[in-house]
Every structure is written in structure tokens, then in C-alpha cells.
Amino acid sequence: MNAAYSATLVNAVATRADRAEANAIRVASVLFISVLTAAAAQISFPLPFTQVPFTFQPTVVLVGGLVLGSRLGFASQVLYLIAGIAGLPVFAASAALPPGVLRLLGPTGGYLMVYPLAAFAVGYLAERGWARRYVTSMAAMLVGLGIIYVGGTIWLAYFARLVSGSAAVGLNAALVSGVYPFVLPDLVKLAAAGGITPGLWRLIGTR
């Protein structure tokens, strides 16, 4: 495959600098996406019929994968989870669970735990040129969103009740409370975000 189409945005920028600056750009980009994921978690809207809040995190995770690529995208979300496990206030607010590792055992733990996998999958597609056009950017993010939904639904349906007695139990209840209310808003968010990476590619050009 043509090298220009295997590059990611962050690597396209980094390769224009010397080695030390390139590494600094990559590290800073990973940190930026991790911090942005944490910031997006703070903009959360609890819904009366589910313990899963509406947040902008999935969009940040998926766009981050498009920008960073598979390995760096994965690393950014692992770093985010490590910060949360350490007790930093990076997860969405919860009235039932305190900050820290217990948050991963609650109703939204499944969504959080697959963020690195979703970012990796989207980044893998970005490395194959999917981030350069609106339609393929959308398609890549839909793949990642599917991973987030699957991980979140399985956890909410079969495991979250172990630590939260009020969590949904069973696949149908998990879909009703953890997927169906969010599909349309998530599609709208992805439709709006789908032009970000193609626009950035046009802005920076290629070597």
C-alpha cells in the first residue's frame, strides 16, 4: 500500500520534524487525547430510565483513533483508564460509585474497558487511508462504535449486577437501557465528527 495512505495524521506531522521532536509530538498527542477523553466525561447528562449517562466520550475515543492510529490510539485510552483506576476524577460523575477502579465494575464499566479496543480498531482503519474521506471516516467510527456498544452491552447485561444491584440484567434490558437510547444521538455526533480528519488532512497536505 502507498506509504501516504498508511500514515496517520499524527505521524504525517511528526515525520516533518526531527526524531526528538517527532517523539515529543506523538507523546503530546497521546496525552492530549487522554485529557480530551477525560474532559468529555465531565459533560455528562444522566437519563432517568438508565444508569448509563449521555456523554461525548465515544466520539472523542473514535476521532482519537482516526488521528493517532492503532497503537497510539490504544495507548491514549489505556492511559485514560489508568488515570481513572488511580482515582483521578476522569470518569463521568456517578452517584452510586466513587472514583477509582470500582467505576469499571459498575454499569458503565464495559463501555470504558473497550475504549482501547475501539480506538485500536479505528486507528487500524485510519492507517489504511480511511481517515482521509468523510464516508470512510464515518465507516471507521461506526466500527469502533459497534465495539463500544458490544462491550458495554455484554457487561451491563451479565456482569454489572455483581457490583450494582440496580443494573440491568439480561441482554434485552441491557439493550433497552444501554444502546437504544444512544444510537440516534451517537450517529448525529459521528456525522458531525466525520469531517474532522478529512479536513485536517486537507489542511496539512501530504509530503
The pLDDT tens digits for 122-137 are 999 999 999 999 999 9
Range of weakest confidence among 24-33, 163-172, 173-182, 197-206: 163-172
The pLDDT tens digits for 156-186 are 888 875 555 555 558 888 899 889 999 999 9
CB 60 within 8 A of CB 186: no
The pLDDT tens digits for 42-95 are 988 888 877 788 899 999 999 999 999 999 999 999 999 999 999 999 998 876
Closest CA to 11 of 1, 2, 23: 23
Q: Is 31 helix (H, G, I), strand (E, B) or coil?
A: helix
pLDDT at 204 over 60: yes
**Max Cα separation, the chain?**
56
45 DSSP β-pair partners: 54
Q: Going from the N-terminus, what domains does the chain have, and what CATH number goes with each?
A: 3-204 (1.10.1760.20)
CA–CA gap between residue 127 and residue 2 (Å, rounded): 11
Instruction: Please compute the mean of the pLDDT values over residues 93-110 and round it to a whole number.
Output: 81
CA trace torsion 193, 194, 195, 201 (10° rounding)? 110
CA–CA gap between residue 172 and residue 43 (Å, rounded): 27
Q: Regarding predicted confidence, which is higher, 148 or 50? A: 148
What sections of the chain are H helices per DSSP?
3-6, 9-14, 19-42, 57-68, 70-85, 109-113, 115-126, 134-158, 171-178, 180-193, 196-204
**Residue 184, CA atoms < 13 Å, CB-side half-sphere:** 2
Residue 166 confidence (pLDDT): 52
pLDDT at 106 over 80: yes
Instruction: Please compute the mean of the pLDDT values over residues 134-147 and round it to a whole number.
Output: 98
CA–CA gap between residue 172 and residue 194 (Å, rounded): 30
